[in-house]
Chain A
Amino acid sequence: MRVPNLFKFILGGLTIMALVSIAYKVNFLSNGEDAQETDEVYQVSYHYFFKTDTSHTLIKAYLPKNNARQQIKGQKSVMPKSMWFSTNADGGNLRGHWETGEKNTYESISYSFSFRGREQIFGLTENFKAVPNGMATYLKATENIQVTSEPIANLANDLTIGAISDRAKVQALFDYVHHIPSAPIITLTDALGALARNKASCNGKSRLLVALARNLGYPARIKGGIILRESNKRTSHAWAELFINGDWVPFDALNGHFAYLPANYLELYEGDEFLVTHTPGIQFDYSYEITKQEVLPLFDGDSDSSKKVIAFSLWGLVQSKTMSKGNLFLLLMLPLGGLLVALLRTIVGIRTFGVFLPVLIAFSLLETGFLTGMALFLFLILFVGLITRPFDSMGLLHTPKLVISLTLMVLVMAFSNYLGATFHISWLGSLTLFPTIILTISAERFSKLIVEDGMYKATGTLFQTLLAVSVCYVVFSLKGLDTILILFPELLLLVMTTCMLLGRYVGLRWTELLRFQPLLNPKYL
């Protein structure tokens, strides 16, 4: 086979370009640190607004620290020149102090940082190791954690009757506190109060759980922080930690996290404290501004070597919010999906409705879920194909007929959406996630194919399309593929070179092996 020089030149050029660029970046990446896939990254800002006192004014707030599951970076305090800011170690905690001598002025300060957290799961042994020395602080009663009071002692005792292991005891305490109805109570609720009212917020619940645990001899403490969600909020959060086998293990009885801390929990301080305190009697208001940052899994975007790679990738588009990560991923997936369909058509030899329809349907499946999506796709094609049949027999011209089909498709989608919303059937609402126009064209082709080639061939093509959709779906849902495509958009050049090779493939398609079997298999001749 004679290959034209231009073909060789472009093929070789593109391949080398892509490979060199990828190799260059991989080289940097291999030096970088690993990051977990489940990492969540947030930008957090404290905002405090107040009127200064007639004399000295002091604001104190706990500041986050790095630990095994959370990484804090880029701390920045913004405040008027008249104020001074200091950070102070306070037991195991870190506290920021903002002070000023200004009198009767309105001031605002803010403190911001970026948070990268990962979830933390503890597997508990049935029985715990003996409590080491020096834990007395975490076992004693306090004003709001009435460890030794009768109701607490009785409850702890009642709950753990029949519990044979430490783990079972802790589970029983946790379940009890978890099942207390939660209520947004603003006033201080101590352990006894939570028990008596049988209603509590995070504070009441964590105090009660700590009291019960301490009563049974498990060292326990309150942990304070903020649950991070894209928002601007005023609520902080508290949960409990029990010292088990040498670790402080988290228990959030409000949200039902047993020995587990989600990735978006910002840990700020330990102990039964308030996140922010200020000089008494001043006018004071505050808010916590939280914005979620897109992250690249498997990859730490902040290390120096990673930054170099990012500079030559499309991640900048996401960081600058020009484009959402999801949209960028979809865009980059289009050529890859096209390549898959091209492979299926020219090498395997299956027939599909259009080249890009399977790709776009596979995208929709990522939203709807595989089985629901497949069922909905089949339903739309068959239903619209069917209800447009009467219009086929009217002898209408092609274009107006197509618009009728499109209208019917839109009506079906809108109506199912309405039904879905009325009867709370969520999968009906996901119909609009499908690419309407392409779906209409397929429905149209399907009903035309039935007329031209018969039901047998038409359903054959439909099922081969479903096969192509499944293949695309499987590839698209590969974990980390989005990261790879965004970091290495050069891969699309390789898609091109693959297609150049594919475009010259003259071999028999697999389906042709079947079709021409009488000529290929000597047995037949």
Chain B
Amino acid sequence: MLSRFFQIRNPKGVIGLNRRNIKLIYPHNERKYYILADDKVKAKMILHKNGIACARTYAVIERISDIKSVWGKLQEHRTLVIKPAKGCGGGGIKILKKTKSGVWQSSGKTLTDAQIFQHITSILSGLFSMASSDACLIEECIIPHPFFAEIYDEGVPDFRIITLKGKPLMAMLRMPTSKSDGKANLHQRGVGIGVDMKSGTLTHVYDGKRYSNHHPDNEKMVFGKRIPYWFTMLQLSKKTAQAFPLDYLGIDLVIDKIKGPQIMEVNVRPGLGIQLVNKCGLQSTIE
């Protein structure tokens, strides 16, 4: 009876949290380097230094006294994104667009400079990062490639590629749904779409319960769809993995309409749901 609990048949090589922590994260990622991935400002510095494609950094604000002067210099841009450096779960991110009359808008609502300063102040005082202080990152706004809109036209989709010692193991495309409030996270009711690493095509759509071959909000066939710039993305993720002193990473990418694949974020503790999305255990990709 007891042995049945412990000798579970696992032909697909599924990795659980215990094995992920002990075999992948602890030996490959040194804790002192976590901050390089967790802090978006530091991560972007590494990316820029290595010439890896990512959203241009317009400004980094670390002090409340700097807000006004920095903001003044940003007025030439038409769109930009404001992010907390150590935020998690997408909290505190604001996408700002300038209208023709020259006022800033976010999600269709007009924001005064005072409101924007207030938001940046909140970021700096650590409201979104469970810390006593944080930095504010202001960067270029990426315009998603039409490829994403062909699948589903709203929210912020992205690719996730898992790398081990610079080698991409597994990938998926995360898509928002009408139920996920613009977020692409699997546990926020987004969907994951498997990726055939060799051919660079999409496979099943997984909504956390069932597999299908189309996005839950429309009937357009997804299975077998070609991913533009796939091999560029693989190259980019390898380059990213080499740029960081961390050997097990979840790299998030998005494809810009004009500039092509861009690195969005680097994760030290990537989730395990990707195995379900691809119907494949991570262990089998390592051996």
Contacts and interface: CB of A to CB of B under 8 A. Distances in A.
Interface residues on A, range: 20 to 34
Interface stretch (B41-49, B125-133, B163-171, B229-237): B125-133
A395 B12 CA distance: 46
B279 A346 contact: no
B11 to A, nearest CB: 8
A398 B133 CA distance: 11
B12 A399 contact: no
A273 interface: no
B64 to A, nearest CB: 14
A512 B16 CA distance: 7
A21 B92 CA distance: 57
Given A452-B89, A519-B14, A520-B8, A504 B276 contact: no
Contacts of A516: 14, 16, 275-276
B10 A520 contact: yes
A181 B239 CA distance: 93
Contacts of A520: 8-10, 12, 14
Contacts, number: 63
A162 interface: no
B281 interface: yes
B127 A397 contact: yes
Nearest to B10: A520
Interface stretch (B17-25, B66-74, B108-116): B17-25
A507 interface: yes
Contact of B276 (A505, A518, A522): A518
Given A518-B276, A520-B8, A520-B9, A507 B130 contact: no
A522 B9 CA distance: 10
B276 A506 contact: no
A453 B23 CA distance: 28
A509 interface: yes
Contact of B17 (A399, A509, A518, A519): A509
Nearest to A454: B188
A395 B19 CA distance: 38
Nearest to B19: A506
B12 A453 contact: no
B186 to A, nearest CB: 11
Contact of A507 (B6, B9, B89, B280): B6
Nearest to B6: A507
Contacts of A349: 16-17
A117 B98 CA distance: 88
Nearest to B88: A452
Contact of A509 (B11, B16, B125, B281): B16
Contacts of A519: 12, 14, 275-276, 279-281
A346 B132 CA distance: 31
A518 B279 contact: yes
B130 A509 contact: no
Nearest to A396: B127
Contact of B16 (A397, A453, A507): A507
Interface string A498-519: 0000001111111011011011
Given A398-B130, A506-B16, A519-B280, 15 more contacts: A346-B18, A349-B16, A395-B122, A397-B132, A505-B18, A506-B19, A507-B19, A508-B8, A508-B18, A512-B14, A512-B16, A516-B14, A516-B275, A519-B14, A525-B279
Nearest 7 interchain pairs by C-beta: A506-B19, A508-B16, A512-B16, A519-B12, A516-B14, A519-B14, A506-B18
Interface of A: 346, 349, 395, 397-399, 452-453, 457, 504-510, 512-513, 515-516, 518-520, 522, 525
